[in-house]
Amino acid sequence: MLFKIFIGWFFYFLCCVVKGDGVGVIPTTLDGPFTPVTVPLDDSFRGNAVDLPPHDPRVQRTVKGFEPEQISISLSTNYHSIWVSWITGEYQIGDNIKPLNPQSVASVVEYGEVKEKQSQKAEGYSLIYNQLYPFKGLQNYTSGIIHHVQLTGLCPDTVYYYRCGDPSIGAMSDVFRFKTMPVSSPKSYPKAIGIVGDLGLTYNSTSTVSHLMKNNPDLMLLVGDATYANLYLTDGTGSDCYSCSFANTPIHETYQPRWDYWGRYMQRLTSKVPIMAIEGNHEIEEQVNGTTFESYSARFAFPSKESGSKSTMYYSFNAGGIHFLMLGGYIAYDKSSDQYKWLQRDLAKVDRRVTPWLVGVWHPPWYNTYVSHYKEAECMRVAMEELLYNAGVDIIFNGHVHAYERSNRVYNYTLDPCGPVHITVGDGGNREKMAIKHADEAGNCPEPSSTPDSFMGGFCAYNFSSGNFCWDRQPEYSAYRESSFGHGILEVKNETHALWTWHRNQDMYYEAGDQIFIVREPPQRCHRVVMFLDQ
């Protein structure tokens, strides 16, 4: 163990960067806890996000017939398997829709390690979904045929070439490529993991995606709220604030073609970089009979079954020496729920000698100092925080709040060297615009009864260390916060050090808005981790 700690510190001392003011060393969490910092709003920041229109060539349909479009890949639980997804056929929206037959087009992926010849073949399954409204004047929607094919028996850290479609009718895609994850080991990690939340499809979103692609991620985490299709009525009329503009609609409508626009735009990234998504509140999309999350569950491929989950709303997977917990903030999470019991089982199987890093991902943040969504997920925190703390989770990523915030290590609102670092990256660029106001500023504290999540319900915000519902200054657990659009890159260097970098859209490529080495605490400082490893 002393040798491992020495290697970690040796690596840290090598990690010097040249900054604008000279040579400096990137700070580490071992230097903390840090004095809270609030960066004033940047005058160059343009937060007036505007959606790409339907006539933008980047969102228009360019394929013919049943040729594949909206191609994406996602991971299974381990390196040896990848999911390939795409859509064939055109969606329909209106009063007299006729769903396509999913069995009418085959789901085939041809792949191999040689670009000129894809010698292996895999077949999968297909489906369609509907978005239906039992109200006069609301248009119904039925999707194109959605295909999911699982490739298995893949080699680690290897480039594969693939094309997808139905070869029997000559409807095949161009050849794309992907690289598998490294083998799960304390010595092997993806080089860069892009993390973005609340993306949407605005001109700011496209800037975020361009910045992200410049950083060449091996994996992308989408921390909820993909398309914001539910800011639109079924006739395509949109608004920055649905409840403000459409207060009298009989049901919260959603314009499903925005999902197709998003899939077309994102293909340039998702066809080569695995995307691992988790649901956000904008994916609820209620329809007839109270059905929710239909588009989210149908369009993405999830390793739910492989990770022992019964739901697309929560699952887990490995990426090299990292075990990711993708948790659902919009499905039952109390101690009697299926999700909580699954999480207990999943954590019990984690071997920190194989995957030293344990990372949690879900949409609504537990530690948020902005007025927007302040303490909205308190019931989830009360239910799950102790379990994750005892398991030794290292980092937690959230979205939902349209700004950036990084915490000191914290547990139960108290600074704790064994607690995780919480990072909110709900700043992808969607049209609901940026969160700017802080709950600890004079006159900004929300009424407690107004804060619980409207979908999950419940009120758990009772006692706080400050003695009040809001702090009167930036809380000590909040290390850094800034209102700007952007994305993050996580680079796990070894079993002790991970470099976290947050990039602002208004900055040049590769320039860091916030950067820190997150260092896994030595086990002797966190005895609960030693106990967990010994199980």
* More reliable by pLDDT, 17 or 428: 428
CA 527 from centroid of its chain's CA atoms: 31
Lowest mean pLDDT among 16-30, 155-169, 276-290, 402-416: 16-30
The percent of residues above 70 in pLDDT, for the chain, comes to 92
Partners of 419 in the β-ladder: none
Matching residue, tokens 């209102």: 483
Q: What is the pLDDT of residues 227-280, one digit of tens each?
A: 999 999 999 999 999 999 999 999 999 999 999 999 999 999 999 999 999 999
Q: What is the pLDDT of residues 125-163, one digit of tens each?
A: 999 999 999 999 999 999 999 999 999 999 999 999 999
CA nearest to 100, candidates 111, 85, 89? 89
Helix axes of 378-391 and 527-534: crossing angle, nearest 10 degrees: 70
Measured CA to CA, the distance from residue 364 to residue 253 in angstroms comes to: 22
Residue 14, pLDDT above cutoff 70: no
What does the pLDDT average to over 300-306?
97
Instruction: Give phi and psi for 18, each to the nearest 5.
Output: -90, 120
| 383, 362 contact by CB (below 8 A) | no
Detail the DSSP E strand segments found in 320-420: 322-326, 357-361, 395-398, 404-407, 410-411, 414-415
Measured CA to CA, the distance from residue 251 to residue 289 in angstroms comes to: 11
Other CB atoms within 10 A of residue 524 CB: 10
Give 4: exposed, middle or buried? Use CB within 10 Å, 0-12, 13-18, 19+: middle
Helix, strand, coil percent content, the chain, rounded in steps of 5:
20, 25, 55
Partners of 319 in the β-ladder: 322
Amino acid at 247: A
Measured CA to CA, the distance from residue 36 to residue 46 in angstroms comes to: 25
| 481, 38 contact by CB (below 8 A) | yes
* Three-state secondary-structure class, residue 169: helix
**For 331-340, which contacts have Cβ atoms below 8 Å and span 24 or more sequence positions?**
333/379, 333/380, 333/383, 333/384, 334/379, 334/383, 335/383, 338/310, 338/311, 339/311, 339/313, 339/314, 340/383, 340/384, 340/387
What does the pLDDT average to over 17-43?
78
Residue 528, pLDDT above cutoff 90: no
373 is catalytic: yes
Dihedral-angle region of residue 225 (phi above 0 means left; psi in -120 to 50 means alpha; beta otherwise): left
Other CB atoms within 10 A of residue 491 CB: 18
Other CB atoms within 10 A of residue 55 CB: 7
Residue 202, pLDDT above cutoff 80: yes
pTM of the shown model: 0.94
Measured CA to CA, the distance from residue 402 to residue 316 in angstroms comes to: 25
CB-based contacts of 1, cutoff 8 Å, min separation 6: 522, 523
Confidence band of 22 (pLDDT split at 50, 70, 90):
very low
Q: What is the pLDDT of residues 493-503, one digit of tens each?
A: 999 999 999 99
Residue 213, pLDDT above cutoff 70: yes
Measured CA to CA, the distance from residue 359 to residue 339 in angstroms comes to: 17
Which of the following is catalytic: 282, 323, 373, 503? 373
Label residues 439-470 b or e (16+ Cβ within 10 Å = b).
bbbeeebbeeeebbbeebeeeebeeeeeeebb
Other CB atoms within 10 A of residue 216 CB: 11
Measured CA to CA, the distance from residue 333 to residue 318 in angstroms comes to: 22
Residue 8, pLDDT above cutoff 60: no
* Three-state secondary-structure class, residue 371: coil
The sheet with strand 497-504 has its strands ordered as 275-277, 219-222, 193-196, 486-492, 497-504, 514-519
Q: What is the dihedral of CA 313, 315, 319, 322, to 10 degrees?
A: 110
Measured CA to CA, the distance from residue 400 to residue 14 in angstroms comes to: 36
Output the pLDDT for position 461.
Answer: 81
Amino acid at 209: V
Q: What is the pLDDT of residues 161-191, one digit of tens each?
A: 999 999 999 999 999 999 999 999 999 999 9
Helix (H) or strand (E) holding 500: strand 497-504
Q: What is the dihedral of CA 213, 215, 220, 224, to 10 degrees?
A: -80
